[in-house]
Structure 1
């Protein structure tokens, strides 16, 4: 086998040495206070934070566990500390349009101070108004007014009585008004006496009664006018008295808020409302009769609803909304039940995270935002218009049967930061024309960082930071080295470290746990390896079941001997919380025909598009090697045996090509050697993913059957930099019990698998005698001859049948 392709044990793992960093334990290392390896993302975030223009909101993309949220929150909070303090927001009654309460922005802390001052004013005003309206002076003035109108009414009644008496008519007051009774000689006449009178006298009395009734109506009308005038004059007196008291109380507050036009306007309106409706203000309104169907209690128009209070806030606000529903973002209008009815008022308006973040920064999970109806579209509308509207959600979606409050829009200036995966950004940018105009900045988080002395030292500091923040056991040097080795393994690269911090923190935390279980004072390599092994054990049940089926030969995998047209390909399985590799038996049959290479997985609809492409590339390789001097006429069927789920990816294309060449040439393949790697039409072997899991999966199968020193795996040369294998695999290679070869072309791979060379191509299209490619070519030539002979035989039979029919 090719020695140039055989890898040594030292090439299979990354040896981490921290000799240049002086420390014994993480206790000696200062915790990390910077960001590791996200210079591009940090630069984008800082640009978005500093760009104080409309539309420069930020979308942060990256994988879960990359530390994106932690880093974003840390950077935003640092920047926000230097920003101006946010404004308070109060909601007050709108005296002109009660269904449209005002929202007013005020300097931080001023909302609370205004409320306290205004409520104190209202309390004192009620007390002093009550005193003024119960004073002797007010009673005297009121008495004079009442007496004046009583006198006028008495004069009207006396005049009426005199006129009636002159006409022998007596007037008596009653519940129904006034009764008119005819008299004679000063005595009232009853009906019988009236009927006994002469006709002329009765007619005279009747005319007099009609006249008096008419005069009564005139007097009653004039009395009603006097009552109205009395009420108006008394009201004027009350308002005059109230105005004096109200103006005295409001003067100081109006002067205090001279520079706040909206507050001044509200105070003027409140003062006028109190003056015009003193009785209601004092709770003595005669109109407040207890109605059994009154819908809601009386609204206190003189309250101040503080929806955002930044009294104790320093710097700009930073809000992280974890559940971005419509109401959580924009606020809500609460309701209460009262005597069987539901009511609301401006004091029940509650803020959402947008209002709480006004003047600062709002961080939202993009995926969660898109899950909630109306949230995303309403957010865009608010950012476009620069206004926030607090609306009743049931009314917004058409479920409310009654109209609720419609608060006036609130000026909005907030920087929104969406955090999501890259595919969400692409989808929104492709299908939403407005998205790119509103979120003009993208910060893309990487999942790995290049290895440098600085980044390695930062990783040591990162481990120290986690230990200090979570109060874990300190790590010794070996424990730190083991964690950093795990970071290389997560990155699948010898020169890069993973920055999937969530997974690293998990191992750091669990390593400390196992050290505590073993009563170790410090966390060592042994504890880290135990944490990793236990993590795998908790999640690899499916992997164990598959390997158990292979051991019991329920799944047929051979790791010894030679076979024609069969090979062990390697696949990676991702079960969500665990990734592992396993061998798959690939078999190929070849026969005369013209259908070319048949992908059985594709025919059974179990093949993905990338795998289909890989199979089609095989045909391109054959045309390149054998189709320049003759037409290719053969058929081949390829399948993954005992595979009942979907297959995708092109990492098995080189294995399929090896098996196809074996089937055509008749040269057997070593079943103890598994293969992974994609191939192009030129026969070049290309890099694939999951190389470590694939090697370890096949090693596990060989180990269970017994290592014989002839087994191993062929990988692409381009994947050598990704090799970070477990110690047991490395030691088996070191002992010569297992082998790993790295190739960059099909010819080298075939030599390792078969022990035979592919041969050199001659000018006539043939290859070196007895070489693999020449055997393939001869087989293809034989297929072509047999096809031609068969076609000629069919043609002759057809001609003979035609001649027989003519005779």
Structure 2
């Protein structure tokens, strides 16, 4: 085999060297307090947090398990400690417009005390008012006013009666008003006596009666005026007494909140309302009785204080992570109650949401969950754009409710919103939502790997110590820490980069501690970490085991020894979401005379993806460059993945397909014990692919099951050598000479390994080195072209022969 391309065992796996670090176990290591890597993301978040202008909200992108939420939360908490504690918020009754409750801002921790003070004030004020209205001075003054009015009315009545008697008319009061009775000689005049009177006397009596009736009307007007004046004086007395008491009670509370003008305005409005409705305030027995009897579903106490945000226990700015960002959870809600089929609500049923709770601080949301919730995303944009939060009934807002609901006053917003989501969500919103670009101006993109350095290795060790301390796990010894770090390299698929998908790393740390505990080890050892990794693989590799069994039993045909032309073992990776594995796949090529070029059977059957189709088309470009400069290519070739029943995508098999095509055309067999992976370009350069470790290990398992011969191995791109992090089993087999891994840069190197022959050099006449692979391919293509031309000539002469034979028979 081609020794120059063999990869030495030392390059097949990352060897972690912890000699620079002096410790025996995680007991000796200080837990990590910083962030590993993520310089770009941390810088973006810090910038956004320090920007005070609007619109500098943050959208965090990155892979799951990179610690996005944890790191962002830590950064937000750190920033929040240096910010002032935000204000409290309350809702109170709006005395001028009851349907629009007022939102009032108070100093942090003052909302509950204000509510308590208001409750005490109202309670004591009721007693104070009752005492004032039951006092001797009040009752005496009220009695004076009433008696003065009564005396005035009595004097008017007396004067009226006196004037009426002077005209021989008596005035008698009744339930229907006043009755006038004519008199004669001091006695009431009967009707028959009245009829017997002369006409002149009757006329005098009628005139007197009319005059008395006129004077009665004047008296009634005066009495009504006296009654109105009496009521006005009593009302004024009540108002003066109530105002004196209320102002004295409210004076202290108003003095306490002089720095909050809106609160002062509310207190003055409440005081005026109490003065204006003092009788209801101190009475209310009828309403209370009606409520007990069930006539009233709800009686509102207008002087209650609804505390929606209480920051009395908050130190610094709040950091709220809303895991279920529904409309009500974000923006708050207005509850309703029912009573005997009657639905009612008031300002005391207003509840705050996460946005108001995070006001003055930071709100953390999952972008995908936010977009799944109806109304939430649009309402969030509207609130951030306007800088105001209004708690509304969502059903009324969108026209789903016919009943009138409350419309509380808006609350000014001052918060940073952080959305965490995948990159594709960010790009969709950024490209198709213009408002999104104005509101979320900062993107923090989290990386999934970090470059290896002494600093990052030390931080990784500290991270392991931090997990052990926080979750109270068993301590890891030196070798166990090395094994976890090796797993970090393997997860990153790079010998010089560590995975910072901490979700996967933490799982291995936990599970290693579990196995150490089960084995009764005092410290977690390397074999505990390896056991955790093995068990994790075992829990997920059922499909891989079934495929491997099918290959071992030759249900799926794969050759691992011998030589065959036009047949090769390609390598594919199966990704099951939580687990991926590699397996060999037989690729075959048939070549024949024709003009269709390279036929991708998977494409014809609509079983291949666009990237795979492109990879096959690249082969045509390679053949045209190598063999089509001096002659037209006249051949057809069919390429297929045997026993493939699903969609195939990716271009990592294009090298194997090209080797197989060259073998079929040249007639030179390929070694079946060698599998191939790699992409190729039109110039014949071998390009990097993904999943190199899974592919090598998958083929190794098949070879091991069939028996290792020492002639088996895998050809990979040289660009993938840095990605090799193979299992100890594969490395040991390579060391023992039972398995080989080659790295190639060009197709020619791979063909030499597979066939033992050189591809040859191109001469000026277009030919290649004699008996080389490329020369045999060229000769076969020339032969195909010659046979094709001869066949066309034979077809062109056939009609002439038929015509001449036809004429001869006619002459006969």
TM-score over 0.5 (shorter chain): yes
Distance 1:265 1:659, change over 3 A: same
Decide whether aligned partners of structure 1 residues 615 and 142 sit closer, same or farther in structure 2, where only a CA change above 3 A counts: same
Structure 1 pair 213/615, CA: closer, same or farther in 2 (3 Å)? farther
Contact kept, 8 Å, 2:586 with 2:642, in 1: the verdict is yes
Name the structure 1 match of 2:684. 683
Q: Which secondary structure does the structure 2 equivalent of 1:356 belong to?
A: helix
Cα distance in 2 for partners of 1:184, 1:623 equals: 144
User: Residues 134-175 of structure 1, C-alpha deviation per residue, up to 9 Å, x if partnerless?
Assistant: 11211122222223333445556667777888787875634x
Deviations 1:471-490 (A, max 9, x none): 10111111111101100100
2:472 alignment partner, SS class:
coil
Is the Cα–Cα contact under 8 Å of residues 182 and 209 in structure 2 kept in the other structure? no
* Partner residue, 2:45: 45
The alpha carbon displacement at 1:618 in A equals 0.7
Query: Is it true that 1:727 corresponds to 2:694 in the alignment?
Result: no
C-alpha distance in structure 1 between counterparts of 2:22 and 2:139, whole Å? 93
Matched residues in 2 for 1:542 and 1:535: separation? Answer: 14
> Quick one: distance in 2 between partners of 1:57 and 1:257?
34
Q: Please, which moves more after superposition, 199-208 or 425-434?
A: 199-208
| Counterparts in 2 of 1:294 and 1:638: CA distance versus 1, 3 Å | farther
Q: Deviations over 1:604-641 (max 9, x none)?
A: 22221111111111111011101101111222222222
Shift in Å, 1:195: 13
* 2:65–2:501 contact (8 Å) kept in structure 1: yes
Using the TM superposition, give the Cα deviation of residue 207 of structure 1 relative to its aligned residue in structure 2, in angstroms. 10
Cα deviation code 1:679-734 (max 9, x no counterpart): 00011110011100111111112222222222111111110111001111111111
Q: Relative to 1, partners in 2 of residues 1:700 and 1:767: Cα closer, same or farther, differing over 3 Å?
A: same
Deviation digits for residues 324-364 of structure 1 (CA, Å, limit 9, x no counterpart): 22222211112222332222111221111111111111121
SS at match of 2:599: strand
CA distance in 1 between partners of 2:803 and 2:206 (Å): 140
Residue in structure 2 matched with residue 504 of structure 1 by the alignment: 505
Q: CA offset at residue 180 of structure 1?
A: 5.2
Q: Which moved more, 1:112-121 or 1:290-299?
A: 290-299
CA distance change for structure 1 residues 140 and 697 in 2, over 3 Å: closer, same or farther? same
- Give the Å deviation of 1:321: 1.6
Q: CA deviation at 1:418?
A: 1.5
Q: Structure 1 residue 441: deviation in Å?
A: 1.8
Which secondary structure state, in structure 2, belongs to the residue aligned with residue 434 of structure 1? helix
> Runs of 5+ in structure 2 lacking a partner?
none
2:588 counterpart residue number: 587
TM-score by length of 2: 0.92
Aligned to 1:233: 233
In the alignment, does 2:367 pair up with 1:370? no
Residue 272 of structure 1 and its aligned partner are, at CA, apart by 0.9
Distance 1:279 1:660 in 2: 104
**Are positions 1:15 and 2:15 aligned together?**
yes
Report what 1:603 is aligned to: 604
Deviations 1:506-549 (A, max 9, x none): 10001001111111111101111111111111112222222222
Shift of 1:129: 0.9
Q: Measure, in 1, the Cα distance between the counterparts of 2:738 and 2:602.
A: 35
Change in 2 beyond 3 A, CA 1:485/1:189: farther
Residue aligning to 1:306 = 307
Secondary structure in structure 2 of the residue aligned to 1:105: strand
For 2:91 and 2:337, the matched residues in 1 are separated by 18
**Contact in 2 for aligned 1:195/1:202 (Cα 8 Å):** yes
Q: What is the rounded CA distance, in whole Å, between the counterparts of 1:342 and 1:7 in structure 2?
A: 80
CA distance in structure 1 between the aligned counterparts of 2:469 and 2:304, rounded to whole angstroms: 49
Q: 5 Å matches for 1:230-379?
A: 230-284=230-284, 290=290, 296-379=297-380
Tell me by how many angstroms 1:553 deviates.
2.4
Q: CA deviation at 1:223?
A: 5.0
2:525 matched to which residue of 1? 524
Alpha-carbon separation, structure 1, partners of 2:570 and 2:161: 125
Alignment of 1:777-792 (within 5 A): 777-792=778-793
Q: Which runs of 5+ in 1 are unaligned?
A: none
Aligned ranges for residues 439-458 of structure 1 at < 5 Å? 439-458=440-459
Conserved 8 A contact 1:677-1:685:
yes
3-state DSSP class of the match of 2:290?
A: coil
Please give the alpha-carbon distance, in whole angstroms, between the structure 1 residues aligned to 2:518 and 2:477: 17
Q: Secondary structure at the match of 1:588?
A: strand
Q: Once the 2 structures are TM-superposed, how far is the Cα of residue 558 of structure 1 from its aligned partner? A: 2.0
TM-aligned CA deviation for residue 759 of structure 1: 1.4
1:282 Cα offset (Å) = 2.4
TM-score normalized by the length of structure 1: 0.93
What corresponds to 1:460 in structure 2? 461
Q: 1:78 maps to which residue?
A: 78
CA shift, 1:131, in A, is 0.6
Query: Deviation at 1:202?
Result: 11
Which residue number corresponds to residue 540 of structure 1? 541
Match of 2:450, SS state, is strand
1:658-697 to 2 correspondences below 5 Å: 658-697=659-698
**Aligned in 2, Cα 1:799/1:686: closer, same or farther, shift over 3 Å?**
same
Shift of 1:552: 2.4
The correspondence of residues 422-433 of structure 1 with structure 2, limited to 5 A, is 422-433=423-434
Deviation of 1:210 after TM superposition, in Å, equals: 9.2
User: How far is the alpha carbon of 1:283 from its aligned partner?
Assistant: 4.2
Residues 264-322 of structure 1 show CA distances to partners (whole Å, capped at 9, x for unaligned) of 21111111111111122224376888389967422222122221111222222211222
- Mean Cα displacement is larger for which, 196-205 or 232-241? 196-205
1:169–1:208 CA contact under 8 A, matched in 2: no
Match runs of 1:18-167 below 5 Å: 18-154=18-154
Matches of 2:161 and 2:614, distance apart in 1: 118
CA distance in 1, matches of 2:440, 2:802: 78
Task: Give the Cα–Cα distance (whole angstroms) in 2 for the partners of residues 664 and 367 of structure 1.
Answer: 53
* Cα distance change, pair 622–128 in 1 and its aligned pair in 2 (3 A): same
2:169–2:209 Cα contact (<8 Å) kept: no
Q: Deviations over 1:737-788 (max 9, x none)?
A: 2111111111111111122221111112221222221222122222222333
Supply the distance in 1 between the matched residues of 2:554 and 2:686 (Cα, whole angstroms): 31
Partner of 2:648: 647
**Which deviates more, 149-158 or 658-667?**
149-158
When structure 1 is superposed on structure 2, of 797-806 and 626-635 the one drifting more is: 797-806
C-alpha contact 2:168 2:183 (8 A) present in aligned 1 = no
CA distance in 2, matches of 1:85, 1:109: 9
Aligned match of 1:764: 765
Structure 1 residues 306 and 802: alpha-carbon distance in aligned structure 2, compared to 1, 3 A threshold? farther
Q: What is the rounded CA distance, in whole Å, between the counterparts of 2:793 and 2:163 in structure 1?
A: 146
Q: 1:208 and 1:691 mapped to 2: Cα distance?
A: 129
Deviations 1:235-264 (A, max 9, x none): 211111001111112222222222221112
